[in-house]
Structure 1
Amino acid sequence: MAGIDEAIPRVNFETMQRYHGRKVILCCQISQIDNGTVRVTTSDKGEVTIVGGSSPYEGRFAEVMGTVVGPTNIQELEHTNLSDNFSLDMYNELVKLAHKDAYIGMFST
Structure 2
Amino acid sequence: MSTNSDISPRVNSAHMQRFIGKTVRLPCKIKTVSLPFATVTTSDDGEVVVHLIPNMEITTTYAEFIGTVVDAGTLKMMAVVGMGEDLVDLSLVNKVVEVIHDKRFYERIFS
State if a TM-score over 0.5 links the two structures: yes
Q: C-alpha separation between the residues in 2 aligned to 1:10 and 1:27?
A: 7
Q: Which runs of 5+ in 1 are unaligned?
A: none
How far residue 68 of structure 1 moved from its aligned partner, in angstroms, is 0.4
**Which has the larger helix fraction?**
2
Q: C-alpha separation between the residues in 2 aligned to 1:35 and 1:93?
A: 31
Runs of 4+ in structure 1 deviating by more than 3 angstroms, as ranges, are none
Alignment of 1:1-109 (within 5 A): 4=3, 5-54=5-54, 55-86=56-87, 87-104=89-106, 106=109
SS across alignment from 2:63:
strand
Q: Which runs of 5+ in 2 are unaligned?
A: none
Deviations 1:50-97 (A, max 9, x none): 003243111211100000001210000000111212131111000010
SS across alignment from 2:66:
strand
Letter in 2 for 1:75: K
Number of residue pairs matched by the alignment = 105
Q: C-alpha separation between the residues in 2 aligned to 1:59 and 1:38?
A: 12
SS across alignment from 1:84:
coil
Letter in 2 for 1:74: L
- Kindly report the root-mean-square deviation, in angstroms, between the aligned alpha carbons of the 2 structures: 1.6
Give the percent of matched residue pairs that are identical in Structure 1 and Structure 2: 29
